[in-house]
With several copies, the nearest count.
Chain A
Amino acid sequence: MKMIMAVIRPEKFDAVKQALADKGYFGMTVTEVSGRGEQRGVCLQYRGKPIHVDVIQKTEIQLTTCDEKADEVIDIIRTTACSGRIGDGRIFVVPVEKAITIRTGEVFY
């Protein structure tokens, strides 16, 4: 299985959640995070001087799914979360050895 960890704009979360649900992906775990991108954050001007603003609020989605579906999930998130502006975020794919449903005890590999 794969855990897809996607850091996105909080404003995009609703759309991503909906897009995933439309394709039948319901399960996910969501965390409020903050982050800084490779650009060293966003650069604002103040009285002529540049100010770097980093560690901006983001939303992280953790979604575990089987290997075959991972690419579809990534695709859904990527297209829905993209605004084209700096700060759209990243998706990381981490291998998961197994997943257990606590209620039923079912184990998925």
Chain B
Amino acid sequence: MAIDSGSTAFLLICTALVTLMVPALGLFYGGLVRKKNIISMVFLSFLALSIVSIQWVLFGYSLSFGPDIGGLIGGLDYAGLIGIGMEDTIVEGIPDILFIAFQMIFAGLSLAIITSGFAERVKLASFIVFGLLWTTLVYDPLAHWAWGGGWAHALGALDFAGGTVVHISAGFGALAAAFVIGKRSGFGETKMVSAPQNIPLTLLGAGLLWVGWFGFNGGSALAADGIAALAVMNTALAAASGALIWMIVSSIKSKPSAVGLVSGALAGLVGITPAAGYVEIFPAIIIGGIASLVCYYALIFRVKKGWDESLDAWAIHGVGGLWGAIATGIFASSALAGVGGLIEGNFMQFAVNAGDAIIAVVFSFIMTYIIALAVKKVMGLRVSEIEEDLGLDISNHGERA
């Protein structure tokens, strides 16, 4: 078929919107850390996008979307994007190069999410090595499984825009990373280490993430059509219900905070990600609301456990993504997804989605743990105590916010 200019226009702009999520995430994270580490959080986001972009065209895309090898990984046939052109052989109506660009930013964003687990203490060089390994050994396989013809794809697991690929992988990866790198000095002793320090920055970042997510989920329809429209509507509704539910639940114990409101919105957005184009609007509202609930309690649980994964990639992206994947198995509408979920009596789909999600959880946690540990052993993951004390802005970048 010929290139469809409408769908191409849509995906081009969605690529820009997803790119917007990268600095947005950096600012969101930056506002949550101490002033002496703001710059480093934004730096890591930009850096994640940059290194993954190069990795992606060199071999990452091929590992993800190359010819399937045993259901586990793609072959290197497209390394260096050899033979990729501007036809629409991958997705009807969309130039191949555009599909690849869109997917590239997803991969970059995933690595940016994981920086949560390293916040305020990671060595720059080690992060680069870690990032390359993680994208290659965790993200690319997961992308292959779900979208590139791997086993999950073959089994029919549904993941509209990356609940497992992006959010579970980065969320549980961040937790593993936080365990390996260890707590920040002073964590648990002083409120300052865990309280958000620049909330307007965080709200700005959240606002941009919210908007970018329309491109993230909408664009995953890979066409400017009714499904994209539904995905965008569902995205907006899940964000709204997530925000409201977090506001309500959190206000039982304390005043409803703005960071809570946007955390709820993000939880809703994560939750709807794998389901966006597969469910009707009321399920979307429910998925967003429950995502918010689940993530809220995950966060409370994390705090109680004293885990220092303090920007909550795990609680929001990891747990929210897990719930979203399961919820997709519950609420999928056969009219939209081609196959129904549990509410349509299809237990199979529920089991496949839940199973897929759990394997993604286990795989990404263990793999990330191993990678982080290996980097730690070989070159160290963490800056010195005195550098941490001074803050990464000065220690890693020689700058001050």
- A interface list, Cβ under 8 A from B: 10-15, 42, 44, 46-47, 51, 53, 56-57, 85-87
Chain B hits for A47, CB < 8 A: 252
Contact between A11 and B190, CB atoms less than 8 A apart: yes
Contact between A15 and B254, CB atoms less than 8 A apart: no
Interface residues on B, range: 20 to 34
B196 CB to closest chain A CB (Å) equals 15
Q: For the complex, give the distance between the alpha carbons of A85 and B395 in Å.
A: 17
Decide: A85 near B386, CB < 8 A? Known: A46-B255, A57-B35, A57-B36: yes
B304 CB within 8 Å of chain A: no
Q: For the complex, give the distance between the alpha carbons of A15 and B186 in Å.
A: 11
Decide: A44 near B387, CB < 8 A? Known: A11-B186, A57-B36: yes
| Contact flags B205-243 to A (C-beta < 8 A → 1, else 0) | 000000000000000000000000000000000000000
Q: For the complex, give the distance between the alpha carbons of A55 and B256 in Å.
A: 20
Contact between B394 and A53, CB atoms less than 8 A apart: yes
Chain A hits for B252, CB < 8 A: 47
Give the residue of B35, B186, B192, B390 whose beta carbon is less than 8 angstroms from that of A53.
Answer: B390
Chain B hits for A15, CB < 8 A: 189-190
B191 CB within 8 Å of chain A: yes
Contact between A11 and B36, CB atoms less than 8 A apart: no
Contact between B192 and A42, CB atoms less than 8 A apart: no
Contact between A46 and B254, CB atoms less than 8 A apart: yes
Q: For the complex, give the distance between the alpha carbons of A47 and B398 in Å.
A: 13
Contact between B192 and A14, CB atoms less than 8 A apart: yes
B22 CB to closest chain A CB (Å) equals 27
Q: For the complex, give the distance between the alpha carbons of A56 and B186 in Å.
A: 18
B193 CB within 8 Å of chain A: yes
Chain B hits for A13, CB < 8 A: 190, 192
A50 CB to closest chain B CB (Å) equals 13
B389 CB within 8 Å of chain A: yes
A-B contact pairs, 12 of them (CB 8 A): A12-B190, A14-B192, A15-B189, A42-B386, A44-B395, A46-B254, A47-B252, A51-B255, A53-B390, A56-B390, A85-B385, A87-B389
Q: For the complex, give the distance between the alpha carbons of A42 and B386 in Å.
A: 8
Contact between B390 and A42, CB atoms less than 8 A apart: yes
Across the interface, name the chain B residue whose C-beta is closest to A87: B389
Which of A13, A56, A87 is most buried by chain B, counting CB atoms within 10 A of its CB? A56
Q: For the complex, give the distance between the alpha carbons of A44 and B389 in Å.
A: 12
Contact between B192 and A11, CB atoms less than 8 A apart: yes
Q: For the complex, give the distance between the alpha carbons of A13 and B190 in Å.
A: 8
Chain A hits for B189, CB < 8 A: 15
A12 CB to closest chain B CB (Å) equals 7
Chain B hits for A57, CB < 8 A: 35-36, 391
Give the residue of A10, A14, A44 whose beta carbon is less than 8 angstroms from that of B386.
Answer: A44
| Contact flags B82-121 to A (C-beta < 8 A → 1, else 0) | 0000000000000000000000000000000000000000
B260 CB to closest chain A CB (Å) equals 14
Q: For the complex, give the distance between the alpha carbons of A85 and B255 in Å.
A: 24
Chain A hits for B387, CB < 8 A: 44
Q: For the complex, give the distance between the alpha carbons of A14 and B387 in Å.
A: 22
Q: For the complex, give the distance between the alpha carbons of A85 and B186 in Å.
A: 13
Chain B hits for A10, CB < 8 A: 34, 192
Contact between A14 and B389, CB atoms less than 8 A apart: no
Contact between A11 and B394, CB atoms less than 8 A apart: no
B172 CB to closest chain A CB (Å) equals 29
Chain B hits for A86, CB < 8 A: 386
Contact between B193 and A11, CB atoms less than 8 A apart: yes
Q: For the complex, give the distance between the alpha carbons of A53 and B254 in Å.
A: 13
What 10 A-B pairs are tightest by C-beta distance, nearest first?
Answer: A14-B191, A11-B190, A11-B186, A14-B190, A53-B394, A11-B192, A53-B390, A46-B255, A14-B192, A42-B386
B119 CB to closest chain A CB (Å) equals 15
Q: For the complex, give the distance between the alpha carbons of A56 and B36 in Å.
A: 9
Contact between B190 and A85, CB atoms less than 8 A apart: no
Q: For the complex, give the distance between the alpha carbons of A51 and B260 in Å.
A: 19
Chain A hits for B254, CB < 8 A: 46
**B6-38: which residues lie under 8 A (CB-CB) from chain A?**
34-36
Q: For the complex, give the distance between the alpha carbons of A87 and B185 in Å.
A: 15
Q: For the complex, give the distance between the alpha carbons of A12 and B36 in Å.
A: 15
Known: A11-B193, A87-B389. 15 other contacts (CB 8 A): A10-B34, A11-B186, A11-B190, A14-B191, A15-B190, A42-B390, A44-B386, A44-B387, A44-B390, A46-B255, A51-B255, A51-B398, A57-B35, A57-B36, A86-B386
